[in-house]
Structures are given as C-alpha cells and as structure tokens.
Structure 1
C-alpha cells in the first residue's frame, strides 16, 4: 500500500486509504460530501436531538418526569384556571360598577315636602256636591269657584274668615262649610257666629248635612280649628290645610288660585 508521499499526495491506485488509514464501514454506504454544507442542516438537527435525548437527566428531572408527577402538573394547571377566571370576573364587575355609579343619570325633580298636620298638596278635585245655603236652597259648591273653602265645624273662626276674605283677590269666593243639620234641628252643628262680609269680596256660608265633604277628603274630625281647601277655577284642590287658625298658613298659596 502506498502513501501520500510515494504518490505525490494522491490516493493509491488499488483503492486503499492513504497512510494506512482504515476504510469506512460498509454499512455506512456511499458517503457524499456536498459542496454546500448548508445541505446538511437537517442531518445536524437530527443528530443534536438524538444527543439531547441521550444526555443523562438529573435526579429532579427524572422525578418530575414520572407519570404521577405529570398528572399532578396537569391537575395543578387546571386548578389555577378557575381562581384566575373568578378574580378576573370580579375585577370586571367592580370596574363596571364604578363606571355605572360615576355616570351621570337623568336629573330628578325634588319631591315636594309636606309638613305634618299643616299643609297637603293634594292634587285632588273638589267633589261635585250640592250644599245648603242660608236660605235653605241647594247650592252647587263648584259654582263658587275659584274659592277658599273653610270647614269650620266647632271652630270659633270669625277672625280667620275675616282675614281670609281680606287676603283673597277679587273674584275668589270665601266659602264656609258647617256639617250637620240646620240650626234648631236634632244634631245641628255648633254655630260659628255671623259671617263677616269684606267690601268687594264674596263670603258664602253653606251647610253640609251629611258631612260628606270632610269625610270624602279625609280631613279628619273637627278639633276646634278649621280645615281649609284652596280650589282653582277648574275644581282642582291646589292646597289642603287639615288644621289651621291663621291666614298665614294659607297666604303663600293664594296666588295659585
């Protein structure tokens, strides 16, 4: 067998290897070395993967790679998803609530305040009753509108009537109503004294035989004070005062008639 020095550095003519080196194993087959080494990238990747798998694993890696540990890892990952989802939903709901509370809503008109036992903005209508006049004839109470109706059962209200007649504008009738039978009959209501007449003002004294006006409007039983109704020309009660003894309780609302 020749050598590279004997043959000018070329391979021996009998096909042997130079310098006495052994030939490649036959099971390797024909080995072709490409001119462009990038063509061997797939083979390089496969060899690296094989070497990585054959590397010896640490004790912890072997412990973590057991089937039981793999199951525990899957269970742990699944158990973490539910709390994370719950926390995320709670944060979203909280943020939405903050936006809803801070968002300006439609303005609301303030509710009308009512003073107990003094005034009541009823919004009701005056019943279409026919009461009895001083001459004994029937008088439709709605024929007196607009009016301030004073229910004076058991009330010494002469001063209140006079003050009301002086305070109302011309064209507004002051109507006094006493419940019960006519004077001299059984069950007659106590007299309230003569009805004063203010110059240029109309004061009408009527009697409600059955007390239907007081009971129908839930004005309560007589207690020595008057009940007042401020009624406009359409018959709407713009203010009701269940108990009063002074014109000052009515004065702020007289302009609404």
Structure 2
C-alpha cells in the first residue's frame, strides 16, 4: 500500500489531503470526466473569450492598480460637490432669465402733469403773509372766517360793497391786490387799511408777488375778481375763479 507521499498527498479513499481545506459547498459536486475531450466546448469558449479580451495595455494595468483606483474614487467624490454647485447656479440663472422675460400684468402708465393738465384744487388756505397799508406784515389766516377777493384788474367797487353787506358780522372781507394804494386804478378800492364798515371787518392787503393766486392755482387777472370762501379752520369751502357779482357765492356764505 502506498503512503500519502506516493499519490501526491491525497488519501487512498479519494478525500482531500489532511493539510488542505475542502472545496466550498456552493460549488456543488464537481465531476471530472474520464475522457478530457468532453471538455473541449468549455475550452473553446474560454479561448475565444481570451482572444476577444486581448492582453491588457500598460495604461489598463496602471488603472487596475489599487492605489490608482483609490485615487479615482477620491477624485470623483471631490469633484461631485463643485459640479453640483455649478449645476444649481446654472439652473438659478436660467430660471431668473425666464422670470424676467415672462410677460407680467400690464402696468398702468404713470400720469404725468403737463402744461395742459388741470391742477388739483387747493382745500386749505396757505399760511401766507401779506402787507398791510402801514407796511406791517399781516398773516392771511389772521382773521377767519373770511371772504377773500382777489381784485387785480377788476373794477370791483360794487362787488366789494355788496359782499360787505351780504356777510354776517363774524365774517371778514379781505381784498388782495398786487397794486399799492398809489398805483390802484379808478374804481378799485385802494390798497390799505379800512375801518369796519357797518360793523363788519374789512381788510385790504398788498400781495406784491402774486403768491395768493399762485398757491390757489388761479388764472391771470382779467376784468373779473376771484372769490375764496374760507371757514374758521382754514378750510376752503368754495373757490370762484371769476366773478363780478356776490350772487355767484351768496348761497355759500351761510356755510362759513
């Protein structure tokens, strides 16, 4: 009987040698045919695969090294974050371009004031200071309620007298003119102080720069007067740009 060394270390019963592990169980039962020609098909398939694959090139051998593979994985992880950031930036830029180019709701054109546009009416008497007959500065709001008559270029003696007769004793009548007493025309009350007429308060004030007309958006002087009715709170109740008769605002005097 031959020993273990006579048959290459394999036991006589066909088992594995004592110093080698058994084959994995998942391999199953391995059958070695008696005639090796039966394995010719498997041999041809392996040879064809080897011919198709071909020997690896120098770069392929270099890339298959473990160190190179680890370097490739590290580079992939490192570049992934910048690529993601750049992609997000591109998406945000494209979205903003679409948003800016997308037509929105139509905007109402802004209304611009031109020379032909009618200015809004003034509702509060401006706090201006005019000049009395003695040269002293007098606030326009100093005596309210009042009917203010702008009498430049107007022969308004009758209008002023009728207005004084129509108002109550608590309402002042104030005439405003850019002309001084020496320059006032015939038929126009002189610019200066006037004592109360029939118990009424009457003031004649000088407006050398025409500031009252400018602030109240009244037109240039003509042959008529302009009447402004102001209550005790400096609120303008009625403005008559052109008038020659107290009847144009008589009904509004009761509101003062």
Q: TM-score, normalised by structure 1?
A: 0.48
